[in-house]
């Protein structure tokens, strides 16, 4: 593979191109009119404008992207995440054009894109699943029967849904018929597929996912878990690896099951198997994401494996150069997603100009971003500015480094979720590891952020007064120097 086109933008396009360049592979960027001066465009060896800002007219124009690739002699297309990354028809069209799709086969994408097809595929592998229906349910009588068997509350889920879309909680039998009808009509209009199924509702679960990697020669490994329970409205906020709650035994069992899930759909490349974990550490297979995920860096940091490099190697037909027993967890990693959203204003996107933008630096700190100072954050795409990633020898060190980096990050011109991230990382429930997917809902209020600010103001005032009084005493500098001249 000599030349790769990255069918994406922002941090992930840049991140993929960096690894490609390191491997001696030329890179091609595609971009919309609003992204013409973006870092991914400037970084690439070649760049082609593919249309106006809306993604439907640019980053989702599969055929146009393939035409660009053919005209430039590209031999591989990396889709990143979002956009065309889990579009089986696009993966097929790329392959049909004689170009390597750097991702799984259209078949794997299709099977795992349907929750019902996924359940069917993994059935013979004995993977734990939440009690519920095996197939689609359209009949209320059947649903009532299921409800009586598994008990309430229930969750009605759309087969074509995922990431929380098309789910409805049903508290009791009286609500079942109406909730099912709503779920079916919502799924029909949202996905063009009204199939729904029913599961027992797990009340306070953790969301733990396993990173897998498979070559085209039948070798599949897992790269341990990522704990992704801290999320807000199905948007992940903080991800970490390893999870504070898994025992080595459960970790190995989940890893082995994730490998089986991958094998059930002949998976190749990098993928993620999502599980729910309940209070008793029972785990249940939820779904498989057939792409490189936003939070992949935490797995890279604890294993030392560059997942994009592995994706490229697998796509060009190489065998994995390591086996499961070569992999181990070294240290702890956390990722905070930094969004241009205002946590004081219901997380509304805060678009505007990055008038000040200075990344934190320091030991164990990695910033994956796609912006530079002075750039506008466009309204057309996901408002994520950066992923702030910290690594340490253990969880305590990684959290301390991430907090330091949050404090050192200088962003002006737009509101960001940095203060929200600090709130999470300093929270007792997070520090103790006792949290579930309801963390934000249970603990976050915007008053918690402003209260923190008030404290900070008070601390700042107290410090200023201290400094002033010492200065008056004429020994301010000496005392400061005695304390170590500024500290770390
Ligand atoms: C569930 C569940 C409770 N019980 N299934 C949400 C996203 C989609 N992947 C599946 N999801 C859930 N499925 C049963 N049977 C709770 C969720 C869920 C959730 C899962 C992971 C991360 C965050 C979540 C937030 C709300 C609900």
Helix intervals (H) in 316-445: 395-408, 418-426, 428-432, 439-443
- Alpha-carbon gap, residue 415 to 343, rounded angstroms: 8
**CATH number of the domain where residue 140 is located:** 3.30.1490.20
15 plus 88 within the same structural domain: yes
252 plus 360 within the same structural domain: yes
Distance 201 CA to ligand 1 centre (A): 9
User: What is the pTM assigned to this prediction?
Assistant: 0.92
178 plus 282 within the same structural domain: no
73 plus 180 within the same structural domain: no
377 plus 243 within the same structural domain: yes
Q: Is residue 171 part of a domain?
A: yes
- Alpha-carbon gap, residue 420 to 405, rounded angstroms: 14
Index of the ligand 1 atom closest to the CA of residue 203:
3
Distance 155 CA to ligand 1 centre (A): 9
Residue 237 domain boundaries: 206-446
346 plus 469 within the same structural domain: no
Distance 78 CA to ligand 1 centre (A): 29
Neighbours of 431 (CB within 10 A): 15
- Alpha-carbon gap, residue 131 to 198, rounded angstroms: 9
357 plus 425 within the same structural domain: yes
168 plus 228 within the same structural domain: no
Distance 43 CA to ligand 1 centre (A): 38
Q: Which of 291, 313, 337, 401 is catalytic?
A: 291
381 plus 438 within the same structural domain: yes
- Alpha-carbon gap, residue 406 to 403, rounded angstroms: 5
Index of the ligand 1 atom closest to the CA of residue 132:
15
Q: Is residue 122 part of a domain?
A: no
435 plus 322 within the same structural domain: yes
Q: Is residue 114 part of a domain?
A: no
Residue 476, Cβ density class (10 Å: 0-12 exposed, 13-18 middle, ≥19 buried):
middle
Residue ranges around ligand 1 (CB below 6 Å): 130, 155, 162-164, 199-202, 205, 207, 231, 234, 274, 276, 286-287, 437
158 plus 237 within the same structural domain: no
- Alpha-carbon gap, residue 80 to 103, rounded angstroms: 9
- Alpha-carbon gap, residue 188 to 184, rounded angstroms: 6
Cα atoms found within 13 Å of the Cα of residue 222, Cβ hemisphere only = 23
Q: Is 291 a catalytic residue?
A: yes
How many domains would you assign to the chain?
4
**CATH number of the domain where residue 61 is located:** 3.40.50.20
Q: Is residue 298 part of a domain?
A: yes
Q: Which long-range contacts (CB under 8 A, 24 or more apart) does 422-430 make?
A: 422/452, 423/448, 423/449, 423/452, 424/230, 424/237, 424/238, 424/336, 425/238, 425/334, 425/336, 425/399, 430/230, 430/238
Q: For residue 69, which phi and psi values (nearest 5 degrees)?
A: -60, -45
From 113, 131, 164, mutation site for ligand 1 pocket: most ligand atoms within 8 A of C-beta: 164
- Alpha-carbon gap, residue 298 to 62, rounded angstroms: 30
375 plus 233 within the same structural domain: yes
> Looking at ligand 1, which residue's alpha carbon is closest to its atom 9?
163
- Alpha-carbon gap, residue 480 to 308, rounded angstroms: 47
Q: Is residue 258 part of a domain?
A: yes
Return per-residue pLDDT of the chain as tens, 488 residues: 999 999 999 999 999 999 999 999 999 999 999 999 999 999 999 999 999 999 999 999 999 999 999 999 999 999 999 999 999 999 999 999 999 999 999 999 999 999 999 999 999 999 999 999 989 998 899 999 999 999 999 999 999 887 677 899 999 999 999 999 999 999 999 889 999 999 999 999 999 999 999 999 999 999 999 999 999 999 999 999 999 999 999 999 999 999 999 999 999 999 999 999 999 999 999 999 999 999 999 999 999 999 999 999 999 999 999 999 999 999 999 999 999 999 999 999 998 999 999 999 999 999 999 999 999 999 999 999 999 999 999 999 999 999 999 999 999 999 999 999 999 999 999 999 999 999 999 999 999 888 756 566 666 666 676 666 655 544 443 343 334 443 32
């Amino acid at each position: 593979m000599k030349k790769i086109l990255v069918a994406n933008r922002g941090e992930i396009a840049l991140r993929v191109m960096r690894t490609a360049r390191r491997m001696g592979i030329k890179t091609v960027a595609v971009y919309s009119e609003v992204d013409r001066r973006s870092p991914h465009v400037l970084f690439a060896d070649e760049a082609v404008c593919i249309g106006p800002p809306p993604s439907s007219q640019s980053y989702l124009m599969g055929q146009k992207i393939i035409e660009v690739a053919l005209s430039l002699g590209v031999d591989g297309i990396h889709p990143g995440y979002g956009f065309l990354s889990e579009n089986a028809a696009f993966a097929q069209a790329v392959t049909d054009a004689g170009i390597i799709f750097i991702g799984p086969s259209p078949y794997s994408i299709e099977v795992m894109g349907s929750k019902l097809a996924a359940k069917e595929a993994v059935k013979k592998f004995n993977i734990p699943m939440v009690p519920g229906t095996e197939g689609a349910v359209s009949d209320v009588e059947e649903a009532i029967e299921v409800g009586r068997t598994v008990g309430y509350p229930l969750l009605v889920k759309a087969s074509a849904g995922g990431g929380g879309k098309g789910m409805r909680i049903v508290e009791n039998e009286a609500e079942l018929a109406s909730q099912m009808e709503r779920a079916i009509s919502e799924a029909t209009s949202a996905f063009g597929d009204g199939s729904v199924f029913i599961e027992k509702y797990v009340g306070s679960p953790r969301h733990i996912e396993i990173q897998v990697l498979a070559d085209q020669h039948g070798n599949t490994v897992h790269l341990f878990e990522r704990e992704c329970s801290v999320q807000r409205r199905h948007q992940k906020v903080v991800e970490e690896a390893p999870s504070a709650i898994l025992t080595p035994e459960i970790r190995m069992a989940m890893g082995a099951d994730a490998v089986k899930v991958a094998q059930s759909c002949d998976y190749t490349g990098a993928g993620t198997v999502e599980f729910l974990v309940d209070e008793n550490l029972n785990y249940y297979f939820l779904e498989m994401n057939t792409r490189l995920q936003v939070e992949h860096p935490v797995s890279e940091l604890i294993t030392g494996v560059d997942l994009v490099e592995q994706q490229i190697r697998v796509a060009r037909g190489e065998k994995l150069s390591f086996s499961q027993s070569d992999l181990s967890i070294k240290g702890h990693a956390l990722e905070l997603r930094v969004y241009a959203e205002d946590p004081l204003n219901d997380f509304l996107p805060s678009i505007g100009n990055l008038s000040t933008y200075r990344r934190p630096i320091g030991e164990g700190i990695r910033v994956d971003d796609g912006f530079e100072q002075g750039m506008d954050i466009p309204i057309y795409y996901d408002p994520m500015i950066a992923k702030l990633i910290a690594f340490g020898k253990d969880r305590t060190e990684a959290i301390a480094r991430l907090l330091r980096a949050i404090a050192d990050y200088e962003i002006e011109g737009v509101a960001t979720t940095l203060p929200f991230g600090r709130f999470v990382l300093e929270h007792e429930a997070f520090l103790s590891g006792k949290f579930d997917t309801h963390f934000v809902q249970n603990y976050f209020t915007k008053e918690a952020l402003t209260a923190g600010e008030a404290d900070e103001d008070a601390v700042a005032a107290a410090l200023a007064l201290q400094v002033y009084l010492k200065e008056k005493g004429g020994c301010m500098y000496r005392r400061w120097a005695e304390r170590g001249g500024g500290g770390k």
